[in-house]
Structure 1
Amino acid sequence: MSEYERELAEAQREHWQQTYGEHPAMYGEEPSEPAVHAATVFRAGGARDVLELGAGHGRDALYLAREGFTVQATDFSPTGLDQLRAAARAQGVAGRVTTAVHDVRDPLPLPDASVHAVFAHMLLCMALSTTELHTLVAEVRRVLRPGGVFVYTVRHTGDAHYGAGAGHGDDIWEHGGFAVHFFTRDLVDALAEGWQLQEVHAFEEGGLPRRLWRVTQTLPR
């Protein structure tokens, strides 16, 4: 990681810490549409345990726990995870949820072939370089069991904020303090090399609206 990338990463960490501190449960309590879809896909594949990357304050991790999955939720914001644990206790699912403060630029804190499924809603389109994304997806591959499922979502270059705000190179643009790596379809395909790419589903979310892809890919058995 270059010094510039390191400074951008630290600035984003501080921004998210402040955001969660000032706006507890900022995304509400209802699960995202991708999490509802992921639960269906995971259940159909026989998954019992899920790793969520970039869980934030936990609306999706908590939903997956309520649906009967054992969830390990990671995020680089301790504040967000504090809110997640408090909500898990309040909802009676604390026994199904564990948390870990983790930056996805570092190796995932799990053994090889140890989880059935991985979920990440808009985590891969944070301020991660293309090189860091390839490293992260290789780590996801490492921790998944054969036949495991990876469902992730990303904003793409058709989004209204693509090209707006401050440019950081590598299709990363910062708008309103949030730096986003906007994906091309070529990047989705490159990250799916060696996987079975099941679906790239276009959808919209939020008031702008944000334009995203929901990607589902599985490891060969």
Structure 2
Amino acid sequence: MSDPEQGLGDVQRAHWQQIYGEHPGMYGEEPSDPAIHAAAVFGAAGARKVLELGAGHGRDALYFARRGLSVWAADFSPAGLEQLRVAAAAQGLAGQVTTAVHDVRQPLPIANASVDAVFAHMLLCMALSTQEIHALVTEVRRVLRPGGAFVYTVRHTGDAHYRAGTGHGDDIWEHGGFAVHFFPRDLVDALARGWILDEVAAFEEGDLPRKLWRVTQTVPQ
């Protein structure tokens, strides 16, 4: 990673830490629609252990736990994860949720084939280079068991904020202080090589609205 990329990633980490600190529970308590879909996929596959990347303050992690799943929730914001721990304790779910401060630019501190499913809502489209995204998906593949499912969502190049704001190269654009890597379809296909690509579903979220893909891919048995 070049120095400018390293700098942007560190700035974004500090930005999210500040945002979570100033706006506790900013996304509310209800799970995201992608998490509801993912829980159904994971349940159908018999998953019991789920890794969520970019868990934030935990609305989706808590939903998975309420569905009876054991959740390992990772985020690079200690402030967000502290809110998740407090909420998990209040809901009687502390025994089902483990949190870890982790920057996905680094290898996942999890053993090979040790989780049944992985979920990441708009984590892959943060201020990560294409090379870092590929490295992260390789790590996801490593920690998933055979037959394990990976459900992720990303904003794509059809989004209204694509090419708006400050450009950082590599399809990364910063708008309102948030840097986003907008995905072209060929990047989704490249990340699915060696996997079973089950679904690429377009959906919208928020007031803009943001335009996203929900991707489901599975490790071959």
Shorter-chain TM band: over 0.9
Per the alignment, residue 128 of structure 1 pairs with 128
- Distance in 2 between residues matched to 1:62 and 1:39, nearest whole Å: 11
For residues 16-63 of structure 1, the C-alpha deviation after alignment (integer angstroms, 9 at most, x for no partner) is: 000000000000000000000000000000100100000000000000
- Distance in 1 between residues matched to 2:131 and 2:160, nearest whole Å: 25
Amino acid at match of 1:71: V
Q: How does 1:65-214 map to 2 (within 5 A)?
A: 65-214=65-214
Amino acid at match of 2:63: Y
Gaps in structure 2 of 5+ consecutive residues:
none
**DSSP 3-state at the match of 2:31:** coil
For residues 74-96 of structure 1, the C-alpha deviation after alignment (integer angstroms, 9 at most, x for no partner) is: 00000000000000011111110
Amino acid at match of 1:56: G
Q: Which runs of 4+ in 1 moved over 6 A?
A: none
- Distance in 2 between residues matched to 1:7 and 1:131, nearest whole Å: 16
Q: How does 1:55-66 map to 2 (within 5 A)?
A: 55-66=55-66
- Distance in 1 between residues matched to 2:94 and 2:71, nearest whole Å: 10
Gaps in structure 1 of 5+ consecutive residues:
none
Identical counterparts, % of pairs = 78
Q: CA deviation at 1:2?
A: 1.0
For residues 128-157 of structure 1, the C-alpha deviation after alignment (integer angstroms, 9 at most, x for no partner) is: 000000000000000000010000000000
**DSSP 3-state at the match of 1:179:** strand
- Distance in 2 between residues matched to 1:207 and 1:27, nearest whole Å: 13
- Distance in 1 between residues matched to 2:6 and 2:41, nearest whole Å: 36
- Distance in 1 between residues matched to 2:31 and 2:92, nearest whole Å: 17
Amino acid at match of 1:158: G
TM-score of the superposed pair, with normalisation by structure 1 = 1.00
**DSSP 3-state at the match of 1:193:** coil
- Distance in 1 between residues matched to 2:209 and 2:68, nearest whole Å: 31
Amino acid at match of 1:85: R
